[in-house]
Structure 1
């Protein structure tokens, strides 16, 4: 064998002997020094209020169900001691789950209450009557709470300035003074003689107290004035829909003039009937009375049909004025007007009038008819 072969064989034997010596040396030193074993990962503690990915907030809103704690408390399934959970550093910042609402309110189920969509009646403040507030409170006659008195503006402005400001505010919100004028002018086509008539009213004041002027009359074309009157009245509201009036009335025309003390009531009756009743006492001691009523039947927003009635009474005969006792006369009218604007409306219609009793007898004695029918054309305006 050559030297080269022997050298290769020796190197191969040395290479095989080194691992064997290393292994035997490791076993020889067993117990003296062991390499550190790889630490097993510590069990992760469950977050407070979480079970299987279900947080307390989600559980309160009904999105998931939290698992119950293990019956063995701090022991795991194999009996070993479980590693205690570390305190949650964010526990103090988490939102506490909302209190479970009462199940007795069907209008506010627990899941809606938990999301803040409603408040169950059982959770309402204890001072509310039966858990009700606002319009849910039962009807009663309990006194209203006092108005607030701690006005911030009082800290800046003087008492005189604030009193003036409050007075103006109350005046602008219900204490204004304003006026109104309304007049009907019409042409009456009668058999035998045509005529003109007017009926107007004007007043000025506030919601409670007003000064009122009324006037009406008619004349025959070519014959002059037949009759006319003017009333000057103090009007005071006695309710939301009625006014009481008192004042004077003055008649003028071919008949002897008369002055009357007047008391009246006018307003809007149920079902929107405009009514008026008046009692007159003349300077000669004559007592007269009058009742009127009319109704606006709106056919369209602009077309209005208005039936009207007027009746006059007398306590005694007044021959100088051709008035008989009892029911003196009645007028029935039906007018159809078209409101071009609210303040201006032309109209057409028909009117029937009839005198009764001694009044009819006085009319016939003077050459007049006791009954007449007129076709009317007129205009109504107000501002």
Structure 2
């Protein structure tokens, strides 16, 4: 049990502590002069109503703002860009070399084939090639057919081609027919290139001797069954301006030929193929064919090779 004197002392201390706390809470801070208080006593104070702009340190100097001032310039100034800097950043370099002025060439034997016809075996060919640059080229075309050792038709074209776009050329030149009938020369003007969906197409108009005129249309398309197995449909239409009995040609729509060939590229430059063709004569051309004892329409089995170099 605590002695009487100790208990009295403890009670007295508690009374003093409570009185001190009540006095601190009731104290009026509005009358306090903070300007004379040392800076160390004011650090970290956030009392409301206090004007910190008039606060001074122990020597009477005004205190600096608690927030650092924004720098007026970069600590590491960026130097002004000069012409020498630009030349160093973009030195002169050699241009990319292109072959637009080089002379190149391509020769394609599109069809060299044996045909099984009603009149006997036939050998047919169609080839073309070019030599020149990217814009201007000399184009050579040739096609024909020999049946039972006799040339039924043969022609050669020499055309100057000028590119008018990435996929199209305008061509003009001459065409020479050797068969059928007597040799005949034509002036040629046409357009060739790749149409939508990769259709290789040609449209050529001809003006021949004696006022004869003609129009030839061709189109073909490669269908890749595999990377090397390719199915190629093609079609060719011929129209003439007037009748030519000597050569068995009638005016208007003269003939239509369609083919379907399946080739396998053993090598990219060498591809044997097998296929079928169907041809039909129209109008006066069909009449001339019947007068010669020939059919106006005929289907053939073909076997051939396609190569280029």
TM-score computed with the length of structure 2 as normaliser: 0.70
Q: Secondary structure in 2 aligned to 1:363?
A: helix
After TM superposition, the runs of 4+ consecutive aligned structure 1 residues lying more than 6 A away are none
SS in 1 for 2:120: coil
Indicate the residue corresponding to 2:33 in structure 1: none
Gaps in structure 1 of 5+ consecutive residues: 1-67, 85-94, 97-149, 154-164
Q: Distance in 2 between matches of 1:309 and 1:152?
A: 53
The residue number in structure 2 matching 1:118 is none
Distance apart, 1:318 and its partner CA: 0.8
Verify: 1:312 aligned to 2:238, yes or no: yes
Superposed CA offset, 1:91-121 (max 9, x none): xxxx98xxxxxxxxxxxxxxxxxxxxxxxxx
2:204 to 278, 288, 299: 278
For the pair 1:351 / 2:277, whether they are aligned, the reply is yes
Rounded to whole Å, the distance in 2 between the matches of 1:213 and 1:151 is 46
1:338 corresponds to which residue? 264
Q: Summarize deviations over 1:67-90 as a string: whole Å, max 9, x none.
A: x965489x9xxxx98xx9xxxxxx
Task: Determine the structure 2 residue equivalent to 1:219.
Answer: 146
1: CA distance, partners of 2:44 / 2:257? 96
Post-superposition offset of 1:191: 2.4
**Secondary structure class of the residue paired with 1:288:** strand
Question: Paired residue for 2:135?
Answer: 208
Summarize the Cα distance change of 1:235–1:70 in structure 2 as closer, same or farther, 3 Å threshold: farther
Once the two structures are TM-superposed, the CA of residue 273 in structure 1 deviates from its matched residue by 0.8
1:176, distance to aligned residue in structure 2 (A): 2.1
Picking from 116, 124, 132, the partner of 1:189 is 116
Q: How does 1:367-378 map to 2 (within 5 A)?
A: 367-378=293-304
Shift of 1:270: 0.8
Q: Distance in 2 between matches of 1:180 and 1:188?
A: 26
**Cα drift, residue 245 of structure 1:** 0.2
The answer as to 2:218 corresponding to 1:292 is yes
| 1:216-243 deviation line (CA, Å, top 9, x unaligned) | 0011024x10001000000000111110
Deviation at 1:255, TM superposition (A): 1.0
Q: Offset of 1:175 from its aligned partner? A: 2.6
Structure 2 regions of 5+ residues with no counterpart?
1-42, 64-73, 76-89
- Cα deviation for residue 301 of structure 1 reads 0.5
1:264 to 184, 190, 200: 190
Figure out how many residues of one structure are paired with residues of the other and give that number: 237
| Pick aligned residue for 1:178 from 79, 84, 104 | 104
> Is 2:247 the partner of 1:326?
no
Deviation at 1:152, TM superposition (A): 5.1
Note if contact 2:180-2:247 (Cα within 8 Å) is conserved in structure 1.
no
2: distance between equivalents of 1:370 and 1:69? 112
Q: 1 CA distance for matches of 2:253 and 2:45?
A: 103
Structure number with greater CO (CA < 8 Å, separation at least 6) is 2
- Provide the C-alpha distance between the structure 2 equivalents of 1:285 and 1:366, rounded to a whole number of angstroms: 25
* Equivalence for 2:29: none
Contact 2:154 2:180 in 1 (8 A): no
Deviation readout 1:40-89 (Å, 9 max, x if unpaired): xxxxxxxxxxxxxxxxxxxxxxxxxxxx965489x9xxxx98xx9xxxxx
Q: What is the CA–CA distance in structure 2 between the aligned matches of 1:244 and 1:236, rounded to whole Å?
A: 5
TM-score (norm: length of structure 1): 0.57
Partner secondary structure for residue 210 of structure 2: coil
- The Cα RMSD (Å) is 3.1
Counterparts of 1:318 and 1:214 in 2: how far apart (Å)?
23
User: How far has the Cα of 1:247 moved from its partner?
Assistant: 0.1
